[in-house]
Amino acid sequence: MKTPNYHDFYQKALIPIGFNDLLALKELSSYENDSPFTHWLIAVEGEQLSQPRIFYHWKVCIYPSNCDGDLNWKKPFYCSRTMISMDSAHELACSLVSASKQDQLSILNLQEKIS
């Protein structure tokens, strides 16, 4: 996994992890018991394509974090497929924010869930 491009990393406000989502997170093999995850950090990330003109593809990632926004970028809860349009990525991020506020990330069919 490449280091994320933090120059084109647009995060939403931190969202407290709901009870059901926390239970689902703890079941993942990538969950570390000593990590005090209390919030979700949902971000739109740009991946620059290697071509003469500067051009990006976009993806949405969900990271468990603490209340200060500290996270392990190598262990996202979810990363979407790449999208050509930042508008599409932003729309997906907004829908994931809504689901997380309703404690329903764990029941979504996140096809590219990281385990």
Its pTM stands at 0.82
User: What DSSP state is assigned to residue 52?
Assistant: S
pLDDT for res 47: 84
Q: How do residues 24-78 score in pLDDT, each as one tens digit?
A: 888 876 666 677 889 999 999 988 777 777 778 899 999 999 999 888 888 888 8
**Burial of 75: CB neighbours in 10 Å, binned 0-12, 13-18, 19+:** middle
Least confident of 1-15, 75-89, 92-106: 1-15
CB 72 within 8 A of CB 41: no
